Chain A
Amino acid sequence: MTIRTEHEIHQRRFGRNLGLGLTLVAFVALVFGLTVVKVTNGDPMRGLMPAHAPAAAPEGQGGNG
């Protein structure tokens, strides 16, 4: 008689753990994505600027000229 340790219940448990793991990874990715969008306000370059730097002035109005 063969004793099998891998029962259907273990498979179900593994599936549940895998699902939960993937859900958590997706949640982390979602929060990261949302943070990027909020911080950069839709402009990817703005996120790279220091917080105290002034926003880029519109063309023709900025600088000392």
Chain B
Amino acid sequence: MSDIHANGDVIGAQTGEAGFGDYVALLKPRVMSLVVFTAMVGLLVAPVSVHPFVTFTCVLFIALGGGASGALNMWWDADIDQVMRRTKGRPIPAGRIQRGEALGLGLALSGLSVIMLALAANILAGALLAFTIFFYVVIYSIWLKRSTPQNIVIGGAAGAFPPMIGWVCATGSISVEAVLMFLLIFMWTPPHFWALALFMNSDYEKAGVPMLTVTHGKRVTRNHVLAYTIALVPFALAAGFTSIGGPVYLAVSVLLNAGFLWGAWRIWTRNEITAEADGYATEKAVFKFSLLYLFLHFTAFLVEAALKSYGLGGW
């Protein structure tokens, strides 16, 4: 290897020269996929038909707004990300991107996505997207995440807004259907994340994030998983009786809620000795099931909408 190569390597490491993929990683593409799916469902199940290109544009900019808040979250949480095993490979803790770059990219994309969504759909949709970004970055990341074990409960609202924004893109207003789609994700978030926290405890503890498992212990967290799952059920079922629901949705929802309740019950009946003995198998299974739970609920909304176009579905 020549000196020039050696010097080049040193320079490369010091400047943290990032590739295009690193900037994409700042936008949390995996979280974006959930945003894309739920926003698209919110838009497609609305009773107003939207031109496919406008639909595409709206979903793209809702996703970009989600990505922008992801970049701003990584800017603020760089110190936590450095400590946690799950996040220390992210572009900022890995040294490939500077914190200031993430801040700049996040702010620029936030402005772009809000303005473009307002132009493509309507002002209310743009305003809701702006509020979502503000809520996720300021209320959740900057304020609640490090100060209260209820961080997940309130912060979950940020992830619950996309289907509502999708609905508003099509209809221009907020209705009971949009609110129930919001509540479905909002109420689902706590048991979903607490199931994760039960087997990821050491990471949160190390980073000093006051997750319920860290501040109140796993017994209390198990109680909370069961309580919040019970609280989730009526909202999930209620959506089945609105204009976006129907027999198919209701049947799917009853089965999924029965499964989630059963899982939460099993988590509640276990203790640390039994959980550690099988490597948190139940907690991991319930966490995976909770992902399926949300995905299938929104798929059922889509199925009802598709059936309606053939004169079927709905009540």
| Residues of A bordering B, CB below 8 Å | 1-4, 7-9, 12-13, 15-16, 18-20, 30, 33-34, 37-38, 42
Contacts and interface: CB of A to CB of B under 8 A. Distances in A.
Given A34-B53, A34-B57, A42-B51, A15 B4 contact: no
Nearest to A36: B53
Contacts, number: 45
Given A37-B51, A42-B51, A13 B60 contact: no
B240 to A, nearest CB: 33
B4 A19 contact: no
Contact of B17 (A13, A30, A33): A13
Contacts of A8: 8, 12
B24 to A, nearest CB: 8
Q: Which residue, B11, B20, B120, has most C-beta atoms of chain A within 10 A? A: B20
B311 interface: no
Classify the secondary structure of A's interface with B.
helix
Contact of A9 (B12, B23, B57, B120): B12
Interface of B: 2, 4-5, 8, 11-12, 17-20, 23, 51, 53-54, 57, 60, 119-120
B19 A16 contact: yes
23 contacts: A2-B2, A3-B2, A4-B5, A7-B12, A8-B12, A9-B8, A9-B11, A9-B12, A9-B17, A12-B17, A12-B18, A15-B20, A16-B18, A16-B19, A19-B23, A20-B20, A30-B57, A33-B53, A34-B57, A34-B119, A34-B120, A37-B53, A38-B54
A9 to B, nearest CB: 5
Contact of B4 (A4, A13, A33): A4
Contact of B19 (A12, A33, A38): A12
**Residue from A4, A7, A13 having most chain B Cβ neighbours under 10 A:** A7
Given A12-B19, A34-B57, 12 more contacts: A3-B4, A4-B4, A7-B4, A7-B5, A7-B12, A12-B17, A15-B20, A16-B18, A16-B19, A30-B57, A37-B53, A42-B51
B20 A7 contact: no
Contacts of A2: 2
A25 B231 CA distance: 47
Contacts of A19: 20, 23
Contacts of A9: 8, 11-12, 17
Find the residue from B18, B19, B23, B119 having the highest chain A CB count within 10 A.
Answer: B19
Nearest to A22: B20
Nearest to B61: A30
Contacts of B4: 3-4, 7
A24 to B, nearest CB: 12
A42 B248 CA distance: 33
B91 to A, nearest CB: 12
Nearest to B13: A9
A55 to B, nearest CB: 18
